[in-house]
């Protein structure tokens, strides 16, 4: 049982929740202009974990044949025979039910919009089959987190702040997903899968990722300007820019050897640093 649990957590990459969860907390803290209620924090966390677990498990189901054909992903749980499709399907359903329960416990608007959020994160799994813009669809999926958390706290979208924060998350996610997709360039070409690297080549794709991240930085500056933050919040925005520059500096079209460091380490730092600095700004300098 413990082995199955470990395999399931590896399948859904539970540690990657660090990418999106801090942005959800950031949206909640900005909405409350302080600390949300303990119940709101708990159910926002449950909603995030439920939605992300459902999305990742469904992705593994949808891509099981593609994963089996790709040497990089052939040892994932389903193609390697470590988990059955029936088990993963039931896990997806259970995760979705947990997500809906969490939205019900928050407020009516969160519950009303929850099917849109869940449909987005599930349908993303099929986008590489028909569009090179799947990176932006993934960005849209993660961008739901801060606005969703804002709605969870306030029950409405009554400010441009959550939308700008979601825009920043969408552009950030799309940018790093373009970088990550570069390692599958040759397989995507052979398999007929769509991505920006597959369509334009790795060199041009990396330039598009840079443009996306410049847009992300601009959106963060707008959030900073509209939220009356102080020097701590500004420090977080500047630190994000430095991390993005570092990320693009270590990944080159003719050398993808440090891609995993750029993807996993740098991106986890971006979301955590932004949350910590902005939250500290609100709590300590208000």
SS3 labels along 223-281 = HHHHCCCCHHHHHHHHHHHHHHHHHHHHCECCECCCHHHHHHHHHHHHHHHHHHHHHHH
Output the six-digit token pair for 240. 């994000």
C-alpha–C-alpha distance, residues 238 and 247, integer Å: 14
Where do we find the tokens 């329960």? Answer: 101
pLDDT digit string (tens) for 12-45? 776 666 678 999 999 999 999 999 999 999 999 9
In angstroms, the CA 197 to CA 208 distance is 10
Give yes or no for residue 128 having a pLDDT over 70. yes
Give CA separation, 266 vs 148, 259, 283, in Å.
24, 10, 26
Given a cut of 70, whether residue 218 has pLDDT beyond it is yes
Answer yes or no: is pLDDT of 9 > 80.
Answer: no
The per-residue pLDDT for range 269-284, each reduced to its tens digit, is 898 999 999 999 999 9
Mark 211-228 as b/e (b = at least 16 C-beta within 10 Å). ebbebbbebbebbbeebe
What CA–CA distance (Å, rounded) separates 244 from 267?
Answer: 8
CB 68 within 8 A of CB 13: no
The answer to whether residue 61 scores a pLDDT higher than 70 is yes
Per-residue pLDDT tens over the stretch 131-144: 999 999 999 999 99
Domain residue ranges of the chain, discontinuous segments joined by +: 17-285
Does the domain at 17-285 match CATH 1.10.3810.10? Answer given as no
| SS3 (DSSP) at 132 | coil
């Amino acid at each position: 049982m413990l082995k199955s649990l470990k395999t399931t957590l590896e399948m859904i990459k539970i540690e990657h929740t660090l990418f999106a969860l801090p942005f959800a907390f950031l949206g909640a803290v900005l909405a409350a202009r302080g600390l949300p209620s303990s119940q709101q924090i708990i159910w926002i966390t449950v909603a995030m974990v439920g939605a992300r677990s459902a999305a990742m498990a469904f992705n593994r189901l949808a891509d099981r044949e593609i994963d089996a054909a790709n040497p990089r992903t052939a040892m994932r749980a389903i193609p390697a025979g470590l988990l059955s499709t029936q088990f993963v399907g039931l896990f997806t359903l259970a995760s979705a039910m947990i997500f809906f329960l969490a939205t019900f416990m928050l407020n009516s608007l969160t519950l009303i919009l929850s099917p849109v959020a869940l449909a987005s994160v599930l349908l993303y799994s099929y986008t590489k089959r028909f569009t090179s813009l799947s990176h932006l669809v993934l960005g849209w999926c993660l961008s739901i987190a801060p606005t969703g958390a804002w709605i969870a706290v306030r029950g409405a979208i009554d400010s441009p702040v959550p939308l700008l924060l979601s825009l920043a998350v969408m552009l950030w996610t799309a940018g790093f997903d373009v970088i990550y997709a570069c390692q599958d360039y040759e397989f995507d070409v052979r398999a007929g899968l769509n991505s920006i690297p597959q369509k334009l080549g790795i060199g041009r794709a990396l330039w598009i990722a840079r443009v996306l991240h410049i847009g992300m930085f601009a959106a963060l500056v707008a959030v900073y300007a509209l939220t009356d933050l102080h020097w701590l919040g500004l420090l977080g925005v500047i630190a994000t820019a430095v991390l993005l520059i570092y990320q693009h500096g270590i990944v080159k079209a003719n050398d993808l050897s440090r891609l995993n460091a750029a993807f996993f380490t740098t991106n986890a730092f971006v979301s955590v640093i932004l949350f910590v600095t902005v939250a500290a700004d609100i709590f300590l300098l208000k």
